Structure 1
């Protein structure tokens, strides 16, 4: 194996991506070296380029949705073998990122891919699922609901309504699936009318057009349930969707956001806002995410979790540049963009 690899590099703050070469890292204790077959794109990747929403060092390699083949094992690895097909959640440290041909991953946040899933479908899972998961179950960065795999959770959320704004987004789709796993009912979501069947396939029981105002949506929901809405997960979290979510929320309810809050908690009624931070490497999230990653292979195998729909970008790593621009311009709906680093010319 060559000691060098191709990588898509952001050379400086607000610079332009360029194809470069960098060394292939060696795995340490509890780590795997992965030959990346599929890397999925996320909005945070273009936001880092334009606004540096995550503190990183330059030159930087981005991307945290990883699927590929185990090439090498670090010390202390017992559950993986060379040649395993795996999916992993990276982190914004160059040796652990996705927009390159080889990367390191933490074994705790790596799972085998069942035969039923491709590298492409698996690559759509990590960031979206972890953000949904932490937003629902995280005690620090989430609503603090009891996770469905714990004994005390049995039926805990049964017959409680949940509203998920932006159900066709990656985070929204996984939130719907986890809400189903937790026993919420009804599972109410908004999306474009063209994505109605998609979100119902993920487990939404009721669909409404995302263009409805807060008052219109509240009226429509009142026809579905007379239970107070104590949990709204806003997977879009633009100012306008946050306003809708805040308007739907009952007294003492929780609004989960994926971006910074634009609505103010001091508008009363004991309602609170939490911002989901779906990084499994954060100390506050480690135990929760370690538990879910230990279950991910089975969830994918038995269909408990369905990966996102996806579109494969051409031209290997170079295709990521145009893909990120399409994300920035809002030209992607109901699917994830996936690149194949090994196809880089």
Structure 2
């Protein structure tokens, strides 16, 4: 079997490694992708520095943009030469930090005309996260195609904590498109104008000591909260200041008890209900995006049809990109990891070229 290069975790908090892995031929509805671009995510840091759900060596990355180089016999939507983007994660052969990934075709969509791979790779993992979190954890509908009638929750207050994050930006755009109009969000003040332009009705600076009272003044009861930060003290404890009986809080796991730094190891929890003191009747749920395929429609159509259509029609705009440079695949991956650890990207995605192969 032929092999190719892949970036892997070596040990907790160790520098990343580069190894040879098998180049797996696609079967059934699988396709093989020459991985040309990816966007790093906090999960990469959680896995490398915290060992979260990892058996070393673990190939990293779940956001893929590239070109189809082979297709299984039963593939029906994609063909060799298609430019694609998507979110895949289940096995090492599907991961993004390698020359070639072999993935189910349902985890990919064709990149619409007029968009670069660098732009497209900012979408898949976080748009999927929003659809899963909103429908599964908050219990709000996002029917496809979008209903022409007004949403029964059009004026229901929904708070996005961390609106300038990648997930926060996509949450505002997606919810706004589906007719949810009373969207509140927190972010640094410098991002407020942009967040209002993509759907936020009310914006709040999470640095303000009285942010909870500001939120309650705008909406005396907030029944739905999507926490895109999931920090014990940085977000959940602040949300607990205003959450009341009947509030559902969906936090993107893991909950960060202590952030990773160059000198300090991170600490995580998967217990959203127990990490802070909630008022009686508040339900705090942990969002686990990797289970989105439990929804049969999402499994077949979310990445292949819905996300490409939303991008093509301008419903969602790619996140701003910060291109991470480096002479090799390993150098670029390590630099992106370092930038994640140091929190040196704000309201932008760390995007970098993966394969050095010229096909």
TM-score by length of 1: 0.89
Q: Name the residue aligned to 1:246.
A: 240
CA distance in 2, matches of 1:277, 1:180: 23
Post-superposition Cα deviations, 1:283-307, rounded to whole Å, max 9, x if no partner, equal 5345435342221111100011222
Match of residue 8 from structure 1? 7
TM superposition shift of 1:206: 1.9
- Residue 309 of structure 2 is aligned to residue 298 of structure 1: yes
- CA–CA distance in 1 between the matches of 2:312 and 2:337? 30
Listed one character per residue, the Cα deviations across residues 183-240 of structure 1 (whole Å, up to 9, x for unaligned) are 2222111111222233233322221112123xx22332344345x2100111001112
Are the aligned partners of 1:299 and 1:305 in contact in 2 as well (CA < 8 Å)? yes
1:255 CA drift (Å) = 0.5
1:172 paired residue number: 168
How far, CA to CA, are the matches of 1:122 and 1:218 in structure 2?
Answer: 35
1:331 has 2:344 as partner: yes
Spell out, residue by residue over 1:244-274, the C-alpha distance to the aligned partner (whole angstroms, 9 max, x if none).
Answer: 2222323211001013345548844422011
Q: What runs of 5+ residues in structure 1 fail to find an aligned partner?
A: none
Q: 1:95-134 alignment to 2 at 5 Å?
A: 95-134=93-132
SS in 2 for 1:274: strand
Residue 200 of structure 2 corresponds to which residue in structure 1?
204
- 1:275–1:325 CA distance, 2 compared to 1 (3 A): same
Change (3 A) 1:221 1:57: closer
- TM-superposed CA distance for 1:19, in Å, is 2.4
Match of 2:215 in 1: 221
Range 166-175 or range 311-320, more displaced: 311-320
CA contact (8 A) 2:37 2:66 kept: yes
Residues 79-123 of structure 1 show CA distances to partners (whole Å, capped at 9, x for unaligned) of 112111111111152110000111112111211110121101111
TM-score between the two structures when normalised by the length of structure 2: 0.86
Once residues 11 and 89 of structure 2 are traced to their aligned partners in structure 1, the CA distance between those partners, rounded to angstroms, is 18
User: Would the aligned equivalents of 1:231 and 1:249 in 2 still touch at CA under 8 Å?
Assistant: no
C-alpha distance in 2, partners of 1:39/1:187? 30
CA distance in 2, matches of 1:289, 1:194: 37
Residue equivalent to 1:342: 355
Q: How far did residue 177 of structure 1 move?
A: 1.6
User: What are the Cα deviations for residues 157-187 of structure 1, in whole angstroms up to 9, with x where unaligned?
Assistant: 2111111111111111111122212322221
**Which 4+ residue blocks in structure 1 deviate beyond 6 angstroms?**
none
Pick one of 121, 140, 146 that aligns with 2:141: 146
The reply to whether residue 233 of structure 1 matches residue 216 of structure 2 is no
Equivalent in the alignment of 2:135: 137
Partner of 2:31: 32
